[in-house]
Structure 1
């Protein structure tokens, strides 16, 4: 087999049912091998065994692969060419690394002998991607290709998941090789560390120490992050929380890891978290962090985060996260699902019980008095009303993908997420343009579910070329653009922290006719909504359409995202806006922000 044939055979052996990529000279041998593989392995239903989905550009391809991975939990794969093809993949690779998403990106490279000569479409992929990916392989010895590919998948999905990049020179793709069918690289250091983490168990003494701390608390709170979703630990989390009656807050990436409609759910905390979630964190006396990294969007001012907590416990599969931001009093490095199952079993064995009725009543009061809300009698369309309508009609059962900005936060705040992997968003990187290609990838992963891209007018512009990808492949993706004519989140920051100096954000972008653009790309259902009275009927029609549908919603340009914890502020200084009661007088930040938005 040629090296290219081996690449494709391993992709098939990994059980992949879709690939994403954009062609180019240095990756053509692999593309030809995909074509031949599909021709030689016809399926009874007439579909190709390894369909290759072609986007508008390589960033779109990699975000589609990431959306597939986020929605399915499996490794997503993108095939890109050398030079600009590979550099277009940098942002999705870094995005996947930041959010712990299993991705394999196969890059074509100039022939081995030309590397370092500034050959046509050459780029130093290993150096560029080395700072962005979980691991990067440059295959210069063709005999290691098969083992390298299998190892890449192992690294991408194991431990803390992440993206792996394989840079394959064109001569290696064309090299005649023997396919062995099982080889992997030793990577002894990685395997040793992985074995130590995956085999780690909680001793009786560690369990006893945990329950001694929990037993001494009166107001415990679970702080769950994206690790719950990555580890498939939502079931163990639900069982643990219910068994001991502990309320749960989640990070942006942890949304869906705990049913947001559960009585113990306090939804999202942090910069734009629910006021009641943030107040609960302020009031709790014990924090149990699960797969959460205490990032700046949640913690804000580290030494004032959870100020009344007498103890913090942390479980994470990555030892680097333990105590990185906040010192912890008890920790375990290992698999979240196994750790929760072990603690649950130990607690049941010792008959652990704790009367938390006073804490439950306090939390219920927070949820009641500081509920999410917005202007409900405005003459302009309020974006939160649109999200509520979508949620009501879908019963919170759709996959929601977003771009980045105000629309992202409104979707996170006002949609119900009953299951993991129904919420797809660029968390740590905050990459505008993520929503549409990620939704495409998610629709391939979950053809049985409704997939909705809730986007912003500025964010969707970043990868608007992928509208044509939706219709080319006949995907029933639903695209909602909340149009406030510019960069709404940037404007909100400039209004609050820069005295209303709307530098380069008050663009008044009215020239783009999104409806005509969608129609030009083949959307048969493409409408604009600008009447608040027509929200329910229009959205019902939009969601019921059998095929791709595009809805532009002209929203109130002055609508803001609240609550908001400003840069350098604490939860006690949270700005709750005009419609959510604050229990204290909010203190707005003054002067220059201390961090990026």
Structure 2
């Protein structure tokens, strides 16, 4: 086989059923190999490994990410050298920040030309080394096959992440034997994996946990994205149900626990529900599972979970233990095995706690500090739009978002009954993520309604992907909540910069999104401007059989509340005009170095 044919065959062996990418000179041999592979293997008129072409390479990266987030499988992006590869830097870093497994294969100039500033050359192994879980530059063609297999192994194992493979054009054109097996020797990595996987929770550790839990009256589970990445949602739910322990989730952990259940507190953190944040302050035993105490949740670490006398932490990455918040007990290992072992041990010890008072307290918090907004406003409130969408989809749709206010409104007002229904750029906060991620998710889950909740500023970043939706006949629903500017930036400027709206408006009012959607082939494209039309138009939008685009002109002053400002604790949470506050906030000193 040629090197290009080897790449494609290994992708097939790894179970890849779709590739996202944009062509160019340095990757053409591999594109040709995919064409020939599909031609030879085609059955029933469908390509076994379709190659989906975006508007640009960044879109390809986010499509691979959306596919991975929705499916749990490794997403694949295939791009050319130079600008093609550098356009992948943001998606790769985004995946690294959220621990998403993708393999990005980049063409490169011929080996002899590397370092000569050849046409469309960029030092991708140097650039990507700082952004990815691992990067390979293949200069020995005989190691190509093992490199591709090893890239998939590294991407999906341990704490998942993106792996980049830089493949010179002459390596793609090389011919040699296809082995059909083999991995690169990476003994250090595999030894660390084994150490974590084989570190089973023992009875002694369970006994310590049980002793402290027996003393607790207000335990709380704080679930992060690691629960979903580890496919441990069922184990988490079984543990929570067995002992009736309430659960709150991070932005990345939404869906790990059914948000419609009585003991769900939905999301905590900077824009979490007020009742989740108050419950976190009130708990006396905090159980952190697959979460990392990041700044958007822990805020001021010394004041986070201020009432907790004991904090336990389950994780798979040793670097996360005591990195931000010191804990009293931790376990590094497989989350499924650990949660099942601990549940079995506690049940064997006849542990049957009565948390009736705590449950009553939780119910009171949820009733008193419920999410709310101005329901009598003559202007369309974004929260009302999402409530209506949620009523129709019942917590079972896949929701992707851009980044900004619309992202937080979606996180707050949608329900998520299962994992992998919520796709958002969490740690990187990358505007333009939502639309291409929705495309990737729709290829992963043809059986699901996929909705992109976007903002007028965020969708502009990758607006060209509207045409990708219609080109491939995807029934994706796109909602643009239009407040004519960068709403989240404007909110911060209003709160912390005395209303100086510097560059957050941009005066970008010329775009007619409906005409743009129609020009890109959307058969259903409407603008919602009146409250009285909301329910009817949203129902039509969801019911439409095919791609649909809905622009909603929302109240430009609608804000995201609750909000915990940077450098302050949950006690100083701003709840806005429509959600009560438990206590008057103290003087808020804002450290502007911590912003964004």
Both proteins in one fold, TM over 0.5: yes
Instruction: Report the counterpart of residue 4 of structure 2 in structure 1.
Output: 4
- Taking the aligned partners of 1:419 and 1:508, their CA distance within structure 2 comes to 40
Question: Which range moved further: 502-511 or 240-249?
Answer: 502-511
Instruction: Report the counterpart of residue 294 of structure 2 in structure 1.
Output: 295
Instruction: Report the counterpart of residue 519 of structure 2 in structure 1.
Output: 520
1:409 CA drift (Å): 0.3
1:198 aligns with 2:201: no
Instruction: Report the counterpart of residue 16 of structure 2 in structure 1.
Output: 16
1:34 aligns with 2:63: no
- Taking the aligned partners of 1:26 and 1:425, their CA distance within structure 2 comes to 32
Matches within 5 A, 1:26-425: 26-43=26-43, 45-425=44-424
1:596 CA drift (Å): 2.1
Give the conservation status (yes or no) of the 8 Å contact 2:222–2:250.
Answer: yes
SS at match of 1:313: strand
1:25 aligns with 2:25: yes
Instruction: Report the counterpart of residue 431 of structure 1 in structure 2.
Output: 430
- Taking the aligned partners of 2:382 and 2:587, their CA distance within structure 1 comes to 24
Residue deviations 1:44-90 (CA, integer Å, cap 9, x gap): x2100110000000000010000000000000000000010110000
1:542 aligns with 2:541: yes
Matches within 5 A, 1:421-460: 421-460=420-459
1:589 CA drift (Å): 2.9
1:170 CA drift (Å): 0.4
- Taking the aligned partners of 2:154 and 2:438, their CA distance within structure 1 comes to 25
1:218 CA drift (Å): 1.0
SS at match of 2:265: strand
1:592 CA drift (Å): 5.0
- Taking the aligned partners of 1:338 and 1:263, their CA distance within structure 2 comes to 26
- Taking the aligned partners of 2:427 and 2:537, their CA distance within structure 1 comes to 33
1:568 CA drift (Å): 0.9
SS at match of 2:592: coil
- Taking the aligned partners of 2:191 and 2:113, their CA distance within structure 1 comes to 36
Give the conservation status (yes or no) of the 8 Å contact 2:2–2:176.
Answer: yes
1:594 CA drift (Å): 4.2
Please report the TM-score for the alignment, with normalisation by the length of structure 1. 0.99
1:355 CA drift (Å): 1.6
- Structure 1's consecutive aligned runs of 4 or more residues displaced over 2 angstroms after TM superposition are 506-509, 586-594
Uncovered stretches (5+) of structure 1, i.e. residues with no partner: none
- Taking the aligned partners of 1:592 and 1:167, their CA distance within structure 2 comes to 41
When residues 432 and 151 of structure 1 are mapped into structure 2, their CA distance, relative to the original with a 3 A threshold, is: same
Please report the TM-score for the alignment, with normalisation by the length of structure 2. 0.99
Give the conservation status (yes or no) of the 8 Å contact 2:567–2:590.
Answer: no
SS at match of 2:464: helix
- Taking the aligned partners of 2:339 and 2:550, their CA distance within structure 1 comes to 42
Uncovered stretches (5+) of structure 2, i.e. residues with no partner: none
- Taking the aligned partners of 1:586 and 1:468, their CA distance within structure 2 comes to 48
Give the conservation status (yes or no) of the 8 Å contact 1:576–1:586.
Answer: no
Residue deviations 1:221-255 (CA, integer Å, cap 9, x gap): 10100000000111011110011111111000000
Question: Which range moved further: 582-591 or 535-544?
Answer: 582-591
Give the conservation status (yes or no) of the 8 Å contact 2:566–2:590.
Answer: no
Give the conservation status (yes or no) of the 8 Å contact 1:498–1:592.
Answer: no
Residue deviations 1:329-361 (CA, integer Å, cap 9, x gap): 100001111110110111111111222111111
Give the conservation status (yes or no) of the 8 Å contact 1:483–1:555.
Answer: yes
Instruction: Report the counterpart of residue 467 of structure 1 in structure 2.
Output: 466
1:506 CA drift (Å): 2.2
1:396 CA drift (Å): 1.6
RMSD: 0.8
SS at match of 2:311: strand
- Taking the aligned partners of 2:449 and 2:475, their CA distance within structure 1 comes to 8
1:591 CA drift (Å): 5.3
- Taking the aligned partners of 1:330 and 1:522, their CA distance within structure 2 comes to 56
1:586 CA drift (Å): 2.5
In the alignment of these two chains, the number of paired residues is 596
- Taking the aligned partners of 2:189 and 2:463, their CA distance within structure 1 comes to 39
SS at match of 1:344: helix
- Taking the aligned partners of 1:144 and 1:208, their CA distance within structure 2 comes to 49
1:397 CA drift (Å): 1.1
SS at match of 2:391: helix
Give the conservation status (yes or no) of the 8 Å contact 1:529–1:553.
Answer: yes
SS at match of 1:546: coil
1:508 CA drift (Å): 3.6
Residue deviations 1:420-448 (CA, integer Å, cap 9, x gap): 00000000000000000000000000000
Instruction: Report the counterpart of residue 509 of structure 2 in structure 1.
Output: 510
Residue deviations 1:446-477 (CA, integer Å, cap 9, x gap): 00000000000000000000000000000000
SS at match of 1:575: coil
SS at match of 2:451: strand
- Taking the aligned partners of 1:462 and 1:332, their CA distance within structure 2 comes to 41
Instruction: Report the counterpart of residue 530 of structure 1 in structure 2.
Output: 529
1:588 CA drift (Å): 6.1
Residue deviations 1:24-58 (CA, integer Å, cap 9, x gap): 00000000000010111111x21001100000000
- Taking the aligned partners of 2:87 and 2:78, their CA distance within structure 1 comes to 12
